Amino acid sequence: MEPRADPPFDVCLSFAGSEREYVREVDRALQERGLQCFFDERNQAGLWGQDLAEKFDEIFREKAAYCVAFISKEWVERTWPTHERRSALARALVDSGYFLPVRFDDTPVPGLRPTVGYIEAASTTPELLADLITQKVTWRQRHAYVPPYPDRVFAALYVGADDAVEKERVVQLAHSVLSELKDMSDEERAVILAMLRYGCPCSLPEELHIRLDRLCRVAKIGRAVVERTLASIHALGGLSGEIKEDEEGCTIVSVQWIDLAVGGPGGSMLGVASALVSEAGTEVCDHCYGAALERLDFSRASSLLDYRSEHRASWDPESCPVHLRAAAHAAAAAGWEMELVSTQFRLRPAGARDFIATPLPVHEDEECAQREYEELLAELLRAGLAVSAGSSTTAPS
């Protein structure tokens, strides 16, 4: 059974021309926060040649998770806002909380009860309103969802902040991964997600592998199910796998995944798929992680949508590996965001959209750790953070 998909827009914006400048700033701020937003100026190509009465009814009644209505006298009286309002309020009859009013004045709205909570535009900047909308949107569970700006995936893959081409390629591959997962049977999807969640990443992006007995145990999947899946996934295109014996006699399951889509970005999808699945579990318990994967909800691949991680602001630098503490203390003093995940230490300059990431040492080689630390220092200095270059792996400042 294919997982149900979320509507294409997180939010649609209904407004009159007199409020366009304010709404334009809200839309810009929502884009920066990684939300998919319907705003007529950015959707002109899609609307061109369409029956707008039919298209707007579809968008405001079916195609968004929430509708934000910017209420004013003009909004109540004009033809197109009235059309949008009727469609949105029809949806609100069966989806309580869908209609989110922002008032510019106290004009009564036909069909809207006066007891519905609203935001006062006069005392709310576009940036603050975008924050409130983002909080509202991120509290919901999503289905079959890849965020438009998966910055945690970019960090996991060490994509540079200025590498727009590679970011676009990663996003395209992420959507290809989601499409392939949706096309799988429930049984196939469970096996592949378990491989991506528990498999050894040391050979990425070429392959993932795991001992068969461990896969069956941690994923609670029978051997016959794994064997059937590996026999059937070849029909999915670029995904393939095998069961083999290693040199120590252990039975190993391995998978490979390349992009075969015509006109696609090409290359291996396995690295992107592994990062997408890994980041879906960032800072959540195993139960919520597993539930998110069942929904194919990869929203936590974007920290911009993560309003449940306010603790990052007070994160303790002393929990870092010794050789990274100097950078962690300097970043904390500068108000940078920090994340410590299974394989990476991540720092984000205040106001930036991307993390600067460095691998956590998986070895006892002090020389390698020092070299990685010096490379991180160079990146942090370029980003404007002063960290003493004299800091060492054994005696950080």
Report residue 282 as tokens. Answer: 């960032």
- Taking the whole predicted model, whether its pTM rises above 0.85 is answered as no
Nearest to 89 by CA among 78, 77, 98: 98
Give the chain's residues under pLDDT 70.
Answer: 1-5, 235-236, 262-264, 266, 307-315, 361-365, 388-397
Token pair 């291996």 is found at 268
State the pLDDT at residue 34. Answer: 79
State the pLDDT at residue 311. Answer: 44
Residues in the chain: 397
Nearest to 118 by CA among 163, 164, 67: 67
* Every domain range in the chain assigned CATH 3.40.50.10140: 9-138
Helix (H) or strand (E) holding 231: helix 223-232
3-state secondary structure of 346: strand
CATH number of the domain located at residue range(s) 9-138 in this protein: 3.40.50.10140
Helix (H) or strand (E) holding 210: strand 208-211
CB–CB of 279/156 below 8 Å?
yes
What's the rounded Cα separation, in Å, for the pair 226 and 395? 49
State the pLDDT at residue 264. Answer: 67
Q: Sheet with 239-245: list strands edge to edge.
A: 208-211, 251-257, 239-245
Ramachandran assignment for 287, one of left (phi > 0), alpha (psi -120 to 50 degrees), beta (any other): alpha
CB–CB of 312/338 below 8 Å?
yes
What's the rounded Cα separation, in Å, for the pair 377 and 395? 15
